Amino acid sequence: MRAAVYHGREDVRVEEIEEPTVGDGDVLVDVAACGICGSDLHEYAAGPITVPDAEPHPVTGERAPLPMGHEFGGRVAAVGSDVTDVAVGDTVAVNPVLYCGDCRYCTGGNYHLCESLGFVGLSGNGGGFAEQVAVPREKVVAFPDSVPAEHAALVEPFSVGLHAVRNADFEAGDDVAVFGAGPIGLTVVQAAVAAGARTVYAVEPQETRRDLAGEVGADVTLDPSAMDALDALLNATDGGVDATFEVAGIEATVRDAIAAAKHDGSVTVVSLFEEDVALDPNEIVLGERSVGGSAAYEAGPRGGVEFDAVPDMFADGTLDPEPLVSDRIALDDVVAAGFEALLDPERDAVKVLVEP
């Protein structure tokens, strides 16, 4: 079977790997599509970061070279003998979170905060840039037939956006600002609209992404490279919005996300950062702003609320994944038309789906 395998920095190879074995409790998925994620790009350009390299991952016992791809779904090709509620031919999305089951967070039910957190497609247990992946039954959720099967790959990034909005402190009718309109920022915009935000502001320098933010529901889009977007936001909102989201991963957007929240407002950081940033803690103290993080989405033996909800929200049109999809490519093209294209600032790629 062919798969894209991570060997090291700038070294991803499409090569033959062993067919997955289907255990009694497993579901074998014929991958319809697998999205390329920002974290895949970090691993490709600057890694290994989370891919286990020197030491094996504590949950999987595996280390690089490892198959990549954690945003995927497809049709069920086989099920193990213990699996009774998923059938061959069903379409499913895969929740890729791996956890130990024993640490204080797992035993408390917060599997996505596990001390040994990992992901299928980054930490072992196969990956979605492949023809097939076998995963435990608990990791698959039913995906409606009324939605194209390749959109199952978008359940993962939309679960990140939905989790961020569920973690934030705002109510229907409140104003929201989203800093960064990459794939995750666009899912945050949609989830904020779904949660009843009154006015959603999106701040994004890249024109294509800014336009997409408007297309998926942002009421006002601001270009921080052409204007003082923070100033414009503060002026438009009597000194700040109720909730902000930082989805760009750089110092300027963290600072602006804090400053753009009203006093007693909520700031949710969704990005991962490559470098430390300088902040003014007085903005948090004197404004009594709450700054929190949002990591991935719920997971565990009973699944997760976001992964359960997103397929239904695709089906009823509350969330729309299609505007995010900029390219559909073949597995053999994953490096040139996938990783390299997404890293090229001249290209406008947002979400690239690999269709093995």
| Site residues (vs Zn ion, CB under 5 A) | 37, 99-100, 103, 106, 114
DSSP state of 352: E
Nearer to Zn ion, 263 or 328 (CB): 328
Taking CA atoms, 112 is separated from 51, 95, 192, 250, 306, in Å, by 17, 11, 22, 24, 12
Q: Compute the least distance from the CB of residue 117 to Zn ion, in Å.
A: 7
Among residues 41 and 234, whose Cβ is nearest to Zn ion? 41
Shortest distance (Å) from residue 128 CB to Zn ion? 10
Q: Which residues contact 235 (CB under 8 A, 6 or more apart)?
A: none
Task: Judge contact between 141 and 155, C-beta under 8 A.
Answer: yes
In the complex, least distance from residue 161 CB atom to Zn ion, rounded to whole angstroms: 11
Q: What is the nearest approach in angstroms of Zn ion to the Cβ of residue 178?
A: 18
CA distances (Å), origin 311, targets 16, 27, 191, 264, 300: 32, 18, 13, 34, 18
Q: Which whole-number Å values give the CA distances from 266 to 113, 164, 177, 196, 239, in the listed order?
A: 21, 12, 11, 16, 14
Pick between residue 50 and residue 318 the one whose CB is nearest to Zn ion: 50
Judged by beta carbon, residue 154 or residue 202, the one nearer Zn ion is 154
Residue 62 sits at φ, ψ, to 5 deg, of -110, 155
d(CA 124, CA 116) in angstroms, rounded, equals 13
- The nearest distance, CB 175 to Zn ion, in angstroms, is 28
Q: Smallest distance, Å, CB 111 to Zn ion?
A: 7
Q: Which is nearer to Zn ion, 100 or 142 (CB)?
A: 100
At closest approach, how far in Å is the CB of 40 from Zn ion?
Answer: 7
Q: Is the CB of 154 or the CB of 218 nearer to Zn ion?
A: 154
Beta strands in the chain (DSSP E): 2-8, 11-16, 26-35, 66-67, 71-79, 91-94, 97-98, 118-119, 132-136, 140-142, 176-179, 200-203, 220-222, 241-246, 261-269, 290-293, 325-329, 351-354
Kindly tell me which of 119 and 170 has the beta carbon lying closer to Zn ion: 119
Kindly tell me which of 106 and 310 has the beta carbon lying closer to Zn ion. Answer: 106
Among 37, 91, 111, 73, smallest CA distance to 271 is for: 37
Q: How far is the CB of 42 from Zn ion (least distance, A)?
A: 10
Shorter beta-carbon distance to Zn ion: residue 100 or 236 = 100
We find the least distance from the C-beta atom of residue 37 to Zn ion, in angstroms, to be 3
Closest by Cα among 226, 154, 222, 149 to 190: 154
Per the listing, tokens 């700054």 go with 291
Task: Specify whether the CB–CB gap between 280 and 289 falls below 8 A.
Answer: no
Proportion of the chain in helix, strand, coil states, percent, rounded to 5: 30, 25, 45
